[in-house]
Amino acid sequence: VGVIAPFLEEAGAQQRLIAFAGDHVGGEFASQSPILRCRACWFAGRVSRTLGEAPQTGLLAHYLRAVVALHKDPCLPVSFRACLALRSLCADGGHSALRPDVSDVVVPVLQEVLDDHFRLMDVVEADDLVGCLDSMIHIFSSRLAPYADAMARRLASHLLRLVQAPAHKGGE
């Protein structure tokens, strides 16, 4: 369903997609199975536009809380997918606009979210994470002043680690 979500949105089936998201996916964030938690995060990213257009359902807030909690998941693919999903859930129509209903959920734990993101970047070298961090900086730019010094140090440390790392074999 997540793969065809954009087509369902265009076809006017948002209500069915929202019902599916609430009835069948919402509980998977707490599943014992890491693959189900990971897929729930992936699905959240895919249906973020629909969830954002229906704030009265409360699903966006539920998905946000679940995705933020999964940033600390011990399973690496789950925490990676949660980082990517958070970007989609927070953005409204692009990389730089914050959805109005996101502030109440994410801003109080923004420092933790950024720390989790940097922790993940230290473990996984992925362009998607860098792009996600870039988007999060744009989305939350007006709220980052208290964290700017620590973020600059973390970014500098990460850059130095990458520069000092031995070059990959095979010209990569």
Q: Is residue 30 part of a domain?
A: yes
Could you tell me if residue 111 is inside a domain?
Answer: yes
Q: Residues 6 or more apart from 57 whose CB is under 8 A from it?
A: 18, 22, 51
Answer whether residue 171 is part of any domain: no
CB 97 within 8 A of CB 139: yes
Q: Which domain holds residue 72?
A: 4-164
pLDDT tens for 66-106 read 999 999 999 999 999 999 999 888 876 554 667 777 888 88
Q: Which residues contact 21 (CB under 8 A, 6 or more apart)?
A: 43, 47, 50, 51, 59, 63
Is position 156 within any domain?
Answer: yes
Read off the pTM. Answer: 0.80
Position 2 scores a pLDDT of: 57
Q: How many domains does the chain have?
A: 1
Q: 53-87 burial, b for 16+ CB within 10 Å, e for fewer?
A: eeeebebbbbbbebbbebbebeeeebbbbbbbbbb
pLDDT per 10-residue tile (average), the chain, 172 residues: 59 68 80 94 84 75 92 94 90 66 85 90 86 86 86 86 68 48
